[in-house]
Every structure is written in structure tokens, then in C-alpha cells.
Amino acid sequence: MSNLKIVYTANAYRARKALKNLKAVFKLAGSSLDQLVKANIFLADMKNFAAFNIAWDEFFSNEPKTCRTRVAVHQLPLDTDVEIEMTASYQQ
């Protein structure tokens, strides 16, 4: 039995909120998160890596996993600790 437990941090909350917003934007554009091709994730603190993955896995449980890059940055706009850039396919 594992002693690990999931901790929902402020970072996971903000990541979840960003992913919900991106899901809505994709829907308005006629696409969806299922059409995701690549994601670039910028974290102000790599200590939030695991917390971010918790939020990510709530939206992307499919295999194979989508290509994604996580980058540690010194600072993000508006003093947030997570920024997500996504590219998705689109069919007319």
C-alpha cells in the first residue's frame, strides 16, 4: 500500500481553471481537447510539476499521451504560476 496522497494545491486549481477555459475556447472554434496536437506548459516552480499532472490527467486520460513540453520559467504575466499554450487540429 502506498503512503502517497494527492494534494490539491492552488497550482492544480489554476491549472484546472486554465484547462477548462481552453476547452471552452476550442469548442467555440469548432475543435476540442481530443484534437490536441501539442501543448507547451510553463511553470513558475517545477515543484508544481506533480500538481499540474493531477489537473492534466482529469482532462486527458487517453493513450497515447499528447505531446507536451513543460518548461520552468522565472516569472509569468500577472504573477500566475502556470501558463498553457496549445495547438489543436481543426476540421471544417
Would you state the cell numbers that stand for residue 62, as one nine-digit string?
A: 487517453
**Does 7 score more than 60 pLDDT?**
no
The CATH class, in words, for 10-88 is alpha beta
User: What tens digit of pLDDT does each residue of 16-53 get?
Assistant: 999 999 999 999 999 999 999 999 999 999 998 998 99
Chain-centre distance for alpha carbon 53 = 7
Domain ranges of the chain: 10-88
What band does 9 get if pLDDT is binned at 50, 70 and 90? low
Q: Write the CB contacts of 51 (distance below 8 Å, at least 6 apart in sequence).
A: 7, 8, 9, 11, 12, 15
What is the pTM assigned to this prediction? 0.81
